[in-house]
Amino acid sequence: MTLDEAAVERISEETAEKYRKYFSPGQANILKFSGFDVPEDRAEGCYIYDISGRKFLDCVGGYGAFSLGHRHPKVVEAVKKQLDKEALKSHFFMSIELADACEALAQVLPGDINYSFLCNSGTEAVEGALKAARIHTGRPEYISAANGFHGKSFGSLSVSGREVYKEGFKPLLPISQQVPFGDADALVNTISNNTAAVILEVVQGEAGVNVAPDDYFPKVREICDANGTLLILDEVRTGFGRTGKMFACEHYDVQPDIITMAKALGGGVMPVGAFAANADIWNSLFGKNPYLHSTTFGGNPLACAAVTAAIKTTIEEGVVERSFRLGKMLLEGLQSVYKLYPNSIKEVRGKGLLAGVEFDSEDFAALVIAGCGRRDVLVAYSLNNPKVIRIEPPLIIEESELQRAIDTVGEAIAETAEMLEGVMSE
């Protein structure tokens, strides 16, 4: 159905009004200000369509959720088939779908990590991992990295960075310390025999796509082992091929004790999270009481059908290799843009199809995001470092589409630089 201009305007205004009255006046204002005030309607592959029929190339990728693109047919089919049979479980019986999803996960998870607990989001996965580390070690404290992002529930927020999201909610978990990301010496100086776990993203996403030095994770592994501390790697964003490996920890040949996942885990169709560990840690958490950690909706059959189909599709379609190959093209392309605008761009960095471009100011970054949007290409804001824009497209993106995204970022930078130069000279 194509709506005429008047209908688009009316529906957009009605929706904004409902946001203002019933959801979030602030979000209504921000979206209007940034030019994204026509609601989105549908999505397919790498594209999102708004209600006017305008088509956007999605290089935000659901912050990592749409690795297989929007509505991948194999995942949609699996979920529809399950919906026709049973939507949610009674929890009185065993679930074939849950068993299958956990088996599929065990087949791709690193090393001896064979047990998974399915939940509904990334932050729940992190909460579960933090609890597992505490009960396994009997220790109270956590160490995480400055500016990291692990979610916004209390435990996850405690180990996340950016004060603005934390200050109004204190006291958080009282014994959580942060060290600079990539600095192994700082970790040595902070860790103690009270540290239950070190929790880190492998590539920091919301902190602005920070990639650690090559020897960082092997050193972190050694430091944790020497102190009897568990290593939790948060692969909520990086899991399932985003960085060009099934899990980003494989770049460094380092196995975590506990791994957290979400986003792409549900194939871009269902919201799913999970944390996983080996038999030993599982025994500490569930050995005495299998219901010590539980959830009503986590591991529901629709989510499980999506997980099994998503993992199968990721492997069958060579999505991880594609991300590795196209990731090189993306980074090289953005580096060429950097060479054109060295005064506007501070740095370009990334791994696989997760790339960041850092500017001198948050305003410059916001204007570039808006400029890309005006050219029908969506790129992301970074919550814990708004000077960085992120390019995080579906891993199924075609070369020509990726080139368009790179060119568009270049055009938006040129436009922003010119506009700000004009303002300065006035």
Ligand X SMILES: Cc1ncc(COP(=O)(O)O)c(C=O)c1O
Residue nearest to ligand X (CB): 122
Taking the C-alpha atoms of residue 21 and residue 16, their distance in angstroms, rounded to an integer, is 9
* 205, 239, 256, 410: which one binds ligand X (CB under 6 A): 205
Segment contacting ligand X (CB under 6 A): 96-104, 119-127, 313-321, 349-357?
A: 119-127
With binding defined as CB under 6 A, does residue 206 bind ligand X? yes
Kind of pairing between the strands at 141-145 and 176-179: parallel
User: Please, which of residues 244-273 interact with ligand X by CB under 6 A?
Assistant: 262
DSSP 192: -
- Cα distances from 344 to residues 104, 130, 163, 361, 425, in angstroms, run 45, 40, 27, 10, 16
The question of whether 263 is a catalytic residue gets the answer yes
User: Pick the catalytic residue: 56, 117, 149, 240?
Assistant: 149
H or E element that contains 154: helix 154-158
With binding defined as CB under 6 A, does residue 351 bind ligand X? no
Does the N-terminal peptide bond of residue 171 adopt cis geometry, omega within 30 degrees of 0? yes
Assigned token pair, 67: 């690795």
User: Please, which of residues 47-66 interact with ligand X by CB under 6 A?
Assistant: 63
Greatest CA span in the chain, whole angstroms?
72
User: Pick the catalytic residue: 56, 234, 245, 257?
Assistant: 234
With binding defined as CB under 6 A, does residue 234 bind ligand X? yes
Segment contacting ligand X (CB under 6 A): 172-180, 208-216, 234-242, 344-352?
A: 234-242
The question of whether 21 is a catalytic residue gets the answer no
Displacement of CA 332 from its chain's centroid (Å): 23
Count of CB atoms within 10 A of residue 26's CB?
10
* 123, 313, 323, 416: which one binds ligand X (CB under 6 A): 123
Q: How far is the CB of 153 from ligand X (least distance, A)?
A: 7
With binding defined as CB under 6 A, does residue 67 bind ligand X? no
* 126, 220, 232, 309: which one binds ligand X (CB under 6 A): 126
Taking the C-alpha atoms of residue 385 and residue 395, their distance in angstroms, rounded to an integer, is 24
Kind of pairing between the strands at 195-201 and 176-179: unpaired
Q: Which of 276, 277, 353, 351 shows the shortest CA–CA distance to 307?
A: 276
Residue closer to ligand X by CB (options 52, 176) is 176
Q: How far is the CB of 154 from ligand X (least distance, A)?
A: 12
* 50, 201, 257, 401: which one binds ligand X (CB under 6 A): 201
Taking the C-alpha atoms of residue 300 and residue 274, their distance in angstroms, rounded to an integer, is 12
Residues labelled catalytic = 149, 234, 263
Residues that bind ligand X (CB under 6 A): 63, 121-123, 126, 149-151, 201, 205-206, 234, 236-237, 262
